[in-house]
Amino acid sequence: MKPRPARAALVALVLGLSLAAARERPARAAPGIERFAVIIGNDLGAAGEAALHYAEADAARMAEVLEDVGGFAPENVIVLRGRDAGSALRAIITVNERIRTRAGALGDDTVLLVYYSGHGDRRALHLGGSRFDLTSLEKLVRGSSATVRLLVVDSCNSGALTRVKGGRSAPRMTVELGDRLSGEGIVFLTSSAASEEAQESDELKGSFFTHYLASGLLGAADANQDGVVVLKEAYRHAYENTIRATSSTAAGVQHPMFRYELGGQGDIVLSRLRSGGRRARVRLPSGASFLLFHGDGDGSVVAEVGAHDAAREVSLKPGRYFVRARGAAHLLEGMIDLPPGAVVAVDPGALTRVDYARLVRKGSTILTRVHGPTVGYQVRTALVEGESVCHGPAAAYVRELPDVRLSVRAGFCRAHYANQALSATNDELHVSARAARAWDTPAVSFDAGAALGASLLRQTFDTRGTAPARHTAAAHVEIGASAIRYLPSRFYLALEIAGLAYALQTASDSSDRPLVVRLAARTSLELGMQF
């Protein structure tokens, strides 16, 4: 499916990333920092806005990551999925009151994170038909007595394989920062620049930016591999990977933005990855991009590590995970088990290879088609008595779709003819279009199908005198089967055997040239390449 154009460009998503999972301060230990979060997701927007698929899933995933590695206690995380603007307003006010009371009683440093994923425009968030004014949201976050306040707004519209997230095309949604903050700092991240579209992915089952932010917090952003992910590392990881992932989508490149104002502080630690025996770590080899899924691969994506990411280790809950590595021409897939406290290195040799053509036939959303050329050599049996086999080069272009294998082929072959009276050279130039159904086995793939084609047959005589060449046009029908063996990189070998029926006019000295049917068989061996 092709992405549908967004009805409106997008509300310049002000994502205020507020995961301050632990501010580094020598004078105060980590237990003195208490973290609070309000996580909001709504797949439904205003009237006329198509329902999203993953906004509520993004909210659930962000809450899980914050609790797992961000130091947010479950009782301090409020998750609202599919709720209206009034519920969101009341939740933020309630948390602000808890922060004020907590800080006043114990003097603890506090962190507030507000995250939103759903529809919106430059003035308001759209939560299932209700509107949450952005000015009000800004004042609630800015007015909190939390030491550090962070805001994330991921506003979206709808599409197909890559859905467009956003509202009407409009100037960038901005949050003006005052001269003084009621606490020590505030941070804003935005998933896109003005007039850009933020996007979500069916393969990732979530928005690109939230996916890469969450993956980064689980360890993919830990560039210096010190076991903690700080704000600037998380932003850089989300920025670079969001640009890369959206550069090939129909909606265009999405550029996350960053605004960071913290008074008198160093960088903020957002996640800690080495938490004793409560979690497990996965080490991934270089040279390929890796996705890790809950369960057997039908579940949501937990984390991603790109081919060029310096960090090759992520922190996950103990359990069973599906691993998918994406190489230049094929996938590697398999299951891994993560016991508590274990460090498991993924061995590519233990994973199963899935070639891209087979992936298309499985109906995956990762690839809906592959295509590429073939070159080879063909041999055809004689069309008339006394003719030798006809052999020569052939080339084709093949397109793999979920249900059929389509190809267009052109070829040339030459045969020799001789009887007691004369000898001749017979040439055939042919083109054909073929459709076939393919099946896969672990070692070899097979297809069976039919083709329609046209040929130009030319006969030249070897005589001492002068004899004119003869030309005959023919149509042919072909029924055949192929065996396909996929090779390393993007190449494959295909052996095809087919039966052909030619309809052509016979050569005659009279004006009457009857139409006859000739039967033949053809074998070809081809080397193909896929894109």
pLDDT in tens, 159-194: 223 345 554 333 333 333 333 333 367 776 666 665
DSSP 349: G
Q: What is the pLDDT of residue 151?
A: 85
At 209, give phi and psi (nearest 5°).
Answer: -65, -50
d(CA 411, CA 399): 18
Q: Tokens 């270089």 — which residue?
A: 286
The tokens for 348 are: 């590519």
Give the DSSP H or E segment for 55: helix 55-69
d(CA 432, CA 478): 9
Which residues 6+ apart lie within 8 Å of 459 measured at CB?
A: 417, 424, 425, 426, 427, 469, 470, 471, 472, 507
DSSP 470: E
3-state secondary structure of 45: coil
Q: How many CB atoms lie within 10 A of CB 37?
A: 25
Q: What is the pLDDT of residue 16?
A: 39
Q: What is the pLDDT of residue 184?
A: 62
d(CA 93, CA 112): 12
DSSP 218: I
| Amino acid sitting at position 211 | H
Q: What is the pLDDT of residue 172?
A: 37
Give the DSSP H or E segment for 22: strand 22-23
Largest Cα span, the chain: 116
Q: What is the pLDDT of residue 108?
A: 67
Which residues 6+ apart lie within 8 Å of 8 measured at CB?
A: 121, 157, 166, 167, 168, 169, 170
| Amino acid sitting at position 22 | A
Answer whether 99's CB lies under 8 Å from 145's CB. Answer: yes
d(CA 155, CA 137): 14
Q: What is the pLDDT of residue 296?
A: 76
Q: What is the pLDDT of residue 107?
A: 60
Locate all alpha helices (DSSP H) within 273-414, ordered by sequence.
356-361
Question: Residues in the chain with pLDDT < 70?
Answer: 1-32, 103-108, 156-184, 188-198, 248, 250-251, 257, 259-267, 275-276, 297, 364-365, 463-467, 507-513
